[in-house]
Amino acid sequence: MFIKLQKVETHCPLDESARIIGSATPKFAKMISNKYSRNVATEVQSDFKSNHNRHVSRGLIQEVSENVSEIAKLKEDVWEYNIPEKKKETPCISLGMDGAMMLMRKDGYREAMVGSIALYDKRGERQHSIYVAGSPEYGKSKFIKNFEKEIENIKNIYPDATYVGIADGAHTNWKFLEDKTDTQITDFYHATEYLAEYSKAIFAKNQESKRKEWLEDACHELKHTHGAVDILLKEFELSLNNKKLGSSKKGIISSAITYFTNQKPRMQYAKYRGDNLPIGSGITEAACKTIVKHRLCSSGMRWKDKGASVVLKLRCLDKSNRWELFWDKINQYSLPKLN
């Protein structure tokens, strides 16, 4: 005779009211996930042993961190995070996106995406930043969906702000940013990299002081003078006719002409500065380093999608100044059912 056993779920009211996350209390889960978002599991183990005289298994560290990340994902449509010290006057908000390469176990090096939302006051000073990150995926649909959700939330809070898209010139970036922003700006510092390469092409090695002087003047003019792009393009085109230059140097000049021609409508830096608009995508590039590179790209690291997603979610909560706000929500509301 065979007896069929039926799976029965056990409901523990005490666990629910205590906000138990997997097998950890909220305070312990907070400690574990915060440490894991900043360092590898073995270093987290060492930290607990040295500073708390407690042995914690790698499996528990990863399990608890995964649970915390999953709660954040499940509740991101429900829980609203207030902007710290929200200012009445936030006339400008910038949107930016960029990628950082990381090593995946099966696919080799792939691009993780980072999106930034930065709030500026009327003087053009940055007040607050929000970050969204996504592990490598084909089509980037999950990342785009999450980033669009954050943009929609911020537009509901600041409907009258001027929204500025800042990127390095890649077509995919503008395709995403154009219908979400009022003004699009090519990152000033990417533009100066083309000027630097051009200066190396037209000045000989024994003219280094002249090259640096030209580059400094060109960068200043591009930043402060109306119509500077047209002036530079004329100079580029004249240099292209110099018969003394080899094909490789002419190739560099042609690249500069193409870049400045294509980006010209987004290079009105003197006007942008007069309107106190940001002109650099340094916030997004720095986020690529602090959120992705510093944690997921150390020597020997290879990631599965799930593990990378966990770490990125935790780091975005931390770097967006939402860490304490998230745990306040944990203490206030019932937790979602985890798989």
Beta bridge partners of 108: 104
For the chain, 339 residues long, the average pLDDT of each consecutive 10-residue run is: 60 64 92 97 96 95 96 89 74 96 95 96 92 94 95 94 93 92 97 97 95 98 97 96 91 97 97 96 95 95 95 96 94 79
The three-state secondary structure class of 21 is strand
Amino acid (one-letter) located at 174:
W
Structure tokens at 211: 């090259």
**Amino acid type, 171:** H
What is the DSSP-derived secondary structure letter of residue 180?
G
Separation CA 29–CA 166 (nearest Å)? 37
Q: Calculate helix-pair angle for 228-240, 188-202, nearest 10 degrees.
A: 30
Assign residue 200 a region: left if phi > 0, alpha if psi is -120 to 50, beta otherwise?
alpha
Q: Are 312 and 291 in contact (CB under 8 A)?
A: yes
pLDDT digits (tens, 9 = 90+) for 107-146: 999 999 999 999 999 899 999 999 999 999 988 999 999 9
Parse the chain into domains and list their residue ranges. 10-81+322-339, 189-266
**Nearest alpha-carbon partner for 200 in 258, 267, 246:** 246
Q: Per the structure block, which two tokens stand in for 156?
A: 């509901």
| Longest pairwise C-alpha distance within the chain | 96
Q: Do residues 91 and 118 make contact, with C-beta atoms less than 8 angstroms apart?
A: no
162-208 tens-digit pLDDT: 999 999 988 889 999 999 999 999 999 999 999 999 999 999 999 99
DSSP H helices, 39-93, are 41-52, 58-75
Computed over every residue of the chain, the mean pLDDT equals 92
